[in-house]
Structure 1
Amino acid sequence: MNDVNSSAKSAADSSLSPAFSALFEEHFAYVCRSLRRLGVHEVDVKDVSQELFMTVMLRFGEYDSSRSARAWLFSFAVRFASNYRRLARHRLERLDVPDPMPSNPTDLLEARDLVLRGLARLEFDRRVVLIMHDIDGFPAPEIAAELGIPLNTVYSRLRLARADFRGAVGVRDP
């Protein structure tokens, strides 16, 4: 296990149910990726993820195991990222801290950065639907249920988000 979540993991192991510990272990990295995609700055991802899992721990008894754990956690990520963005205007501007990447980034890292920049330019509600559908692979009906919006709204946001994303990264419509 890496240093990113080792202290939180040890705290989870000492006082929590095996089910929550398993959920944390299996989905911590996914939650971090989701928060990045939703606009949380790299330097804040660890802190926001740990706050998110503290809330998940308190609400773990409400989890319906017939639902997707990833979708449930993503709904928390959406709320936490939304709060992060809302409160960001009240924070002092941070200097850009580059991701800890190799000095010669590979094509994969360049593509990742392009995707993150493209996602950052999307309207938040559209970004959420695009990430859930095109990146995380959730079906539209599950997205609608998880976000509490009509199915046609999911399809509309997805269509608009794809068009906006293509424009943001400089790709022409097919």
Structure 2
Amino acid sequence: MEYNKIKELIDVLNESNLSEISIEDDEHKITLKKEQKQVEYVQQHSIQQPNENNQNLAKQEDSQIQINKNANRENQEEDLSVQYVKAPMVGTFYKAPSPEEGAYVEVGDRVTESSIVCILEAMKLFNEIQAEVSGEVIEILVEDGQMVEYNQPLFKVK
């Protein structure tokens, strides 16, 4: 079977609601299956009779909601001055150029946009990562040797 025909079958499968396509001719038999994502829904029901305890509980919940709203406002104000150094690729995070050497940066260090802050290893290639922001490192968000995803925050800089 020709490559173009197989590619067309893959495109049809991807663009449809089908989960499987099978094609057979004299020489070939091809079965394409699409993995189905399963979502589990859990619904919880509880019925409570109104009483004094429930009313007190509702008042406490209202108070807690107000406290949470105030905390969220404070966090939003704080977050305006915080910037993140994010992973430009998927790879393994290393905070030092080698196990015998010290880390590129530690909490409390000042960085500039061109400062090297870590290494990401991808496919046996070691890539030096620049901060691309300026300020003081206030938190390192990943552990040495940890796998990181694309655009995952690595450092908090203020």
From the two aligned structures, give the one with the greater strand fraction: 2
What is the TM-score with the length of structure 1 in the denominator? Answer: 0.20
What is the TM-score with the length of structure 2 in the denominator? Answer: 0.21
From the two aligned structures, give the one with the greater helix fraction: 1
